[in-house]
Amino acid sequence: MLELYLIRHGQTDLSRENRFCGSIDPPLNAVGLQMAEAFGIAYANRSWDAIYSSPRTRTLQTANALAIRTGVAPIVADGLREISYGDWESLRHQDAQSRWPEQYAWWAVDTASRSTPNGETAFEVAARAARVLEQVRGGHAQGRVLLVSHKATIRILVCALLGIDVRGFRDRIGQPVAAVTRFNIKAGRPMLVQLGDISHLPADLRDIEGT
């Protein structure tokens, strides 16, 4: 059996303010660094066969909190990067809605198959993230593997692994900052056993501003 863990990076200044943040590359803020450390400490007592990470600074910082404690160097996987929000990067939702009301309304109807201006669709993200899953499952029929990624990308991967409509990723699946999701994959069949778990975080970091 393969134990597949997915963790969203810790808090950034943009996630705290619920801003569009996909292709831009903010680092973890002070709270995010505490979250990463808490994760690294809590999960260091497990044996890890591999750690895969999005190339963004915030995910690599989160991955490294575990890597330095286990000696397992992260493998950078471009397919795990966050969905690109194009022209809306760094904006709050209300800012984009105010500036481009018609485009925002059009996008909000179907955020999976429609993209923000010059951004990506969820289906495009699913295609590239699926290639990482194929690489992981091809190289690790059993053991324990961690994927360090982002809010939208993880929610899209959860849909893909469960075989449910990707169109539900934004409204049906939660993934707080630094939350852990786990699948057990046996005989090629993924079973969701943990979703959006933040029990490894100190109590004062479990209910904070942002998303």
The catalytic site residues sit at 9, 82
**Side chain identity, residue 110:** D
Strands (E), 23-174: 50-53, 74-76, 143-149
Burial state string for 194-209 with b = 16 or more CB within 10 A and e = fewer than 16: ebbbbebbeeebeeee
Give the CA radius of gyration of the chain: 16
Q: Of 30, 38, 37, 1, which is closest to residue 13 (Cα–Cα)?
A: 30
Beta bridge partners of 145: 4, 50
